[in-house]
Chain A
């Protein structure tokens, strides 16, 4: 509906004749451009896969596998994206996933069946998020420190509960969710959960007062406070949301692996933060999109898959991921600078 013409120069003289009304969509335009370039990267990766390992890469089974793998980290990334846009950081997501998956797969919890296990993962996630949020918002502690402390303690607690052993799930209903029989029109249930969380996150960020306040608090906390927004409450809610996403991801991981383990979710925090950054989220807060983060997750997961199919070592894979992070941020810097110059 709007022309994509470059914006006019900012009017400095107020009594000078106003420049012709031109719709400024520089910001919307950059974001879209960024998403397009991410889609481009994804397309290139798919072409690489189709050329190097055509039969394996393009098989339905492999696509389902890639999407399933992306789902668990994707749900975590949605939560982390909110926290970062709100001006914070959450380093504890991987540890929370581990703790929730272990807690929900103890013999005692398994007695309550599927619903009991699901409830347990969600409550553990929310509980950890609550602690993070209270420490950050009312502590007040720097988010980096508070969530680093949570990372250490949640991993420790997960190890203590499981005693370092893999806890196998005996509840058939949970295991069946991961089986091919449960696929809806060829789509695994986990992918559906991921899609639902993505949609909810997209709506929440772009279309609700909660999302708008998140952007405000991350963009300029002082201005948000002076505009009457309860900044501390908003921060608390953001960590609760991140914890909730970890709980959901933990349940998905239990379904996927049929077990709970204290080593689950290892380095998820780094993958989630990297995906959000690649997706265009500003680490300093105030700007970011769910779409971008999800594209970031898909790019990372596809790379992992490609390297595995081509029998390349994971060290090369790590180097490639690092390079992509640097490239994404550099490109982003350019486009932002250009839009700001208009």
Chain B
């Protein structure tokens, strides 16, 4: 494979070419190319849904690619499991660190490859080697005997890296390593990355923060819609404009419903005053009027979902209050929020939204059960008929209220959640990633549906990590960065570049 740049690069450590991976209904990777040389910090950029996580999982052996070739140190490999990948020398530090809290640092570092003789762990040697690894990472002060549960987030990350090094990894994949760290800790992370690369270890660094990539990155590969949009760009000198341009623009253009001609003018039905949770989001003020869709745009970890859940009472605010029709809600009470007319379609539909074992009917009527009680007993005929009418109105398919909800597709499951709130005549809909796991084809239908719900006089607050979705659907957009609203504007005055600039660079609006 010919090097793309004129400057001579060392022989690649890893080459991935033409990698594809499909899941039912979704083509997550559609021909990805990536090459990494020893001792470099290679950055992977891309919007949500671009295929970054799938690519990392292929690399880590957690997914097997459908097509394509992985060449590792000159040999074609197909790691069948995470263990196999680790044996090859590819270690992955996931965002959700996979450490056992009740074990000590040393036990975690050598978990799965304990130093042992005849089944007996040589604990002293493990401790000594852990201490050496920690020193190498510049953190000799961490005691190998400490329980991992007692360490702060930054410390745990160090332990994860020590574990990677204990396998003598040649390539360390870091998935958003700075997301959970404070500024000082990020500096330390950079020092470690530099020390590692100086020893010839390559780092695949995934981050949304362009300034970090400029600081420590050598080359950048950009993914878009499951394909490599650009590979091996110089990290320090490529203009931001170019990078953003590569990340945006889609092959599939979504069809968004028309906005109403005139903006909503009625008094706000939902009002949020100074709502805040320490460490999650700064005091927030927000109004949503009947008929209006307000979008919250921001990266994962920018506090989007936390804001929705706090408004809904599922998290208790540290300050501020939520008013519906001018009446304050009891803080931290979902029951009170639901009674006041709020409804949430949660981010994790399957674990937070649905009773998967139950039928569509039973999922839809969950919040309105008492309405069907006559003399203490449920009128199940009426319950089924009402639920059927509600899901039919949302054209849920197949048209069968007795079907177990788990057999429905993502989009139809979302409709079941929405039908629940329609039955309650809910006034304020909070939608958290409403199209996650929904096929491209079914999205337009959901968008039209959401607009219809708003046109009927409901206030909608929408969270999505897909910028085009927020811009296409919302009337007004609040851009969030690290728990803070950095910009508010009517959706038609914003475009994808501008929003990405704001969430990634945090540049002040002009």
**Which residues of A line the B interface, CB within 8 A?**
2, 7-8, 10-15, 18-19, 21-27, 203, 207-209, 212-213, 215-216, 219-220, 222-230, 286-287, 340
Contacts and interface: CB of A to CB of B under 8 A. Distances in A.
A81 to B, nearest CB: 16
Interface stretch (B7-15, B146-154, B359-367): B359-367
Contacts of A207: 377-378, 380
A223 B353 contact: yes
Given A10-B409, A15-B442, A226-B312, A208 B355 contact: no
Given A7-B407, A216-B355, A220-B355, A209 B398 contact: no
B351 A223 contact: yes
B407 A219 contact: no
Given A216-B358, A229-B366, 15 more contacts: A2-B402, A10-B407, A10-B408, A11-B398, A13-B439, A21-B400, A23-B400, A27-B404, A203-B377, A209-B370, A212-B369, A220-B356, A225-B334, A226-B346, A227-B367
Interface string B322-362: 00000000000011011100001010000111111111001
The SS class assigned to the A binding surface is: loop
Contacts of A7: 403, 407
Given A223-B351, A226-B312, A226-B352, A212 B362 contact: yes
A8 B367 CA distance: 29
Contacts of A228: 334-335, 337-339, 367
Contacts of B370: 209
Contact of A18 (B352, B377, B399): B399
Contacts of B338: 227-228
A14 B351 contact: no
Interface string B388-410: 00000000011110111011110
Nearest to A203: B377
Nearest to A336: B357
B182 interface: no
B177 to A, nearest CB: 29
Contacts of A222: 351-352
A226 B344 contact: yes
Given A27-B359, A215-B358, A223-B351, A21 B399 contact: yes
Contacts of A2: 402
A13 B334 contact: no
Contact of A223 (B354, B380, B400): B354
Contacts of A21: 398-400
B378 A19 contact: no
Contacts of A225: 314, 334
Interface residues of B, number: 50
Interface of B: 24-25, 312, 314, 334-335, 337-339, 344, 346, 351-359, 362, 366-367, 369-370, 372-373, 376-378, 380, 397-400, 402-404, 406-409, 411-412, 420, 438-439, 441-442, 445
Contacts of B406: 10, 340
A176 B116 CA distance: 71
A241 B449 CA distance: 43
Contacts of A220: 351, 354-356
Contacts of B403: 7, 24
Nearest to A230: B335
B346 to A, nearest CB: 6
B315 to A, nearest CB: 11
B335 A219 contact: no
B366 A216 contact: yes
Contacts of A24: 400, 402-404, 407
Given A209-B373, A225-B334, A228-B335, A19 B402 contact: no
B226 to A, nearest CB: 18
A202 B495 CA distance: 58
A222 B344 CA distance: 12
Given A14-B445, A24-B403, A223 B355 contact: yes
B386 to A, nearest CB: 14
A242 B489 CA distance: 56
A31 to B, nearest CB: 11
A209 B397 CA distance: 27
Nearest to A10: B407
Contacts of A226: 312, 314, 334, 344, 346, 352-353
Contacts of B420: 227
A220 B350 CA distance: 9
Contact of B397 (A14, A27, A227): A14
28 contacts: A7-B407, A8-B398, A11-B408, A11-B409, A11-B412, A13-B25, A14-B412, A14-B438, A18-B398, A19-B398, A21-B399, A21-B400, A23-B402, A24-B404, A24-B407, A25-B402, A208-B377, A208-B378, A215-B362, A219-B355, A219-B356, A220-B356, A223-B366, A224-B366, A226-B314, A226-B344, A227-B420, A287-B357
Contact of B439 (A14, A27, A212): A14
A14 B439 CA distance: 8
Nearest to B342: A228
B361 to A, nearest CB: 11
